Amino acid sequence: MKWNFLIVDDDAVMAGQTSDILKNKRTLEGETVDCEICSSFEEAKQRVLSSRYDLVVLDLQDDVGKVEMKGKEILDLLRDTHFIPVVFYSGHANKVATLETPFVRVVAKGEDDAQNLRAAVVEVFSTGLPKLIRFIQEQQRNYLWEHVDQFWQKSGPICDVKDLACLLSKRLSNALRGESIRRNLDGVESGIAHPIEMYVWPCIGDAIQTGDIISLDEAVYVVLNPACDFAQGKITNVVVAECVRLELCQEYLDLVAQKEAGGDYTKAQLSALKSIIGDNRQGKKVQSDRFKYLPKTVFMDAAVVDFQSLRSLSMSGEEVYRVQRIATLDTPFVESLLSKFSRYYGRIGTPNLDAEELSSNIAANI
């Protein structure tokens, strides 16, 4: 794949050296990097608005005698307009050290700076964001020009023109979901759902919706009402199930006790924890459909939904206004949650036959 970088540095010699470092095949193994150089910070602002770049490498100042940081102005412009990862490459790197994130890296010019610069670029690309952005753009181009446009010319209208945006959004939504995106991103294992994949964070919109994970009265709950009821305005009471922190579950407490006693975890103890995570909780008088595991992320602790611990919140009551929305379970995980909830409360209990006695009788009469 070919990547396009913009280098912004008023020192022409330094800019050329930066370009040589980044275009070297050691930067992104197996990939091609093209570098465009810009010596004016004001011109660079126009370029990032009018051209497509996969990464911007910024010096901080066009005059080291001034205190203003022109490079940061470009970052601020990107924050207000569109997303491009940034690497600050400057002799004044300490001035922007606090701005570092996985897609804003800071490298000081000096000793080993070539190696550090390449490492920063690799770190940015290891997030998968440049490839994801390119993937979205290609999906959009391919779908509209190579499918919709050609079909429209050959076979006639597909839909009302007002519905084209909806058609594209559904296509992009499908392309960015589950197994489809796993096949197209490096480092994302096919067939395995990662914890962060289960959630939409932060929540979309201002209103409570199906699958919302909420905080109320120092407890955490998940919303169980069907989505259609919210869409049709039929909700008078929001039904929620408590999400019990994993640290409070007996299976976890057993592991803690074993460790504090200085012993190794037993196979049975690890198996019990695995059964919770695999939504097949085991144990005496335990109904596995009663529980649903929610993995830990940066915005929430690992928890186990308990369908026996329900609460009803009136949409007109004051409780709803105290709710804090944490995240929302994404498709298909929210459907899995509701399906399990329906199975648990929709099951029909019948007395068990005496299988041991009946089988003995059958065997005796063969």
pLDDT in tens, 104-140: 999 999 878 899 999 999 999 999 999 999 999 999 9
Question: Are 114 and 66 in the same domain?
Answer: yes
User: Residue 351: inside a domain, yes or no?
Assistant: no
Question: Are 55 and 156 in the same domain?
Answer: no
Q: What tokens appear for 301 in the block?
A: 């602790």
pLDDT score of 62: 47
> In this structure, are residues 221 and 351 in contact, taking their beta carbons and an 8 Å threshold?
no
Question: Are 237 and 156 in the same domain?
Answer: no
pLDDT score of 189: 56
d(CA 42, CA 63): 13
> In this structure, are residues 290 and 307 in contact, taking their beta carbons and an 8 Å threshold?
yes
Question: Are 211 and 163 in the same domain?
Answer: no
pLDDT score of 66: 54
pLDDT score of 21: 95
pLDDT score of 71: 87
pLDDT score of 186: 60
Q: What tokens appear for 279 in the block?
A: 């939504």
Residue labelled with tokens 């928890």:
303
Q: What tokens appear for 42 in the block?
A: 């004001």
pLDDT score of 67: 46
What's the CATH number where 262 sits?
Answer: 2.30.30.110
* Residue where one domain finishes, among candidates 154, 182, 210: 182
Cβ neighbours of residue 176 closer than 8 Å, sequence gap 6 or more: 136
Residue labelled with tokens 């050329």:
16
- Provide the terminal-to-terminal Cα distance of the chain, rounded to the nearest Å: 71
pLDDT score of 286: 87
| Residue 27 identity (one-letter amino acid) | T
What's the CATH number where 26 sits?
Answer: 3.40.50.2300
Question: Are 63 and 9 in the same domain?
Answer: yes
pLDDT score of 281: 92
User: Residue 109: inside a domain, yes or no?
Assistant: yes
Q: List, for the chain, all residue ranges whose pLDDT scores fall below the cut of 50.
A: 62, 64, 67
d(CA 325, CA 344): 26
Q: Which domain holds residue 21?
A: 2-127
Phi and psi at residue 207, in whole multiples of 5°?
A: -100, 150
pLDDT score of 179: 66
Q: What tokens appear for 69 in the block?
A: 């940081």
pLDDT score of 38: 95
Domain count within the chain: 3
Phi and psi at residue 288, in whole multiples of 5°?
A: -65, -30
Q: What tokens appear for 276 in the block?
A: 């919770």
